[in-house]
Structure 1
Amino acid sequence: MFINKTKDGLNNLCGKNIAKYRKSVKISQRQLADQMQVFGLDLDKNAIQRIEAGKRFVTDIELVAFSNVLKMSFEELLSS
């Protein structure tokens, strides 16, 4: 049976890196959500929180937006 989770049970690979970078540039989850909305994606603070905790899947469209908003490459977002 195929399971759509990482080995440690997370629903995405990028959440930890998003949280780490967001904290390093000292922006809140709310501020990140606001920036994603400016980019055209309807995400709120709760969605960012779930993504960072690995409890929510991230679409490729969202991954592109995170890459642009955070000015990070896909490789940086997806590295473990």
Structure 2
Amino acid sequence: MKKINFDNNKNIIWKNLKSIRKEKHLTQADLAAKMQTFNLNIDQQMISKIENNSRIVTDYELAYFCKILGVDVKDMLQKFEDISGK
């Protein structure tokens, strides 16, 4: 299987996800539990891998991270916008 990377990153939200999650005073386990209430199969270890830039993020995971954390997708994608200049 071909590895998916962008600028040597597995995902582009890892820093923002971690920082926003901490601002909201949520642990990785708290966030995983909230994701599971939307029937998303994600656990604390998967959140850790995302925040450590070693796991990709699907579009529906991104949408629910934003919904749960109360942020706009644009805020979560800020690193990409900074890199791409858009």
Query: What TM-score do the two structures reach when normalised by structure 2?
Result: 0.83
Secondary structure of 2:45 counterpart? helix
Q: Is 1:39–1:69's contact at 8 Å kept on the other side of the alignment?
A: no
Report the CA distance between 1:44 and its aligned residue.
Answer: 0.3
Q: Secondary structure at the match of 2:64?
A: helix
1:1-80 alignment, distance < 5 Å? 4-7=4-7, 9-80=8-79
Task: Deviation per CA, 1:28-59: give whole Å up to 9, x if none.
Answer: 00000000001220100000000111110001
Query: Structure 1 runs of 4+ off > 4 angstroms?
Result: none
Q: How many residues align?
A: 78
One-letter amino acid of the counterpart of residue 50, structure 1: K
- 2:13 counterpart letter in structure 1: C
SS of the residue corresponding to residue 53 of structure 2 reads coil
1:4, CA displacement in angstroms? Answer: 3.1
CA–CA separation in structure 1 for the residues paired with 2:60 and 2:78: 18
User: 5+ residue gaps in structure 2?
Assistant: 80-86
Identity of aligned residues (%): 32
* TM-score normalised by the chain length of structure 1: 0.89
Secondary structure at 1:66's aligned position in 2? helix
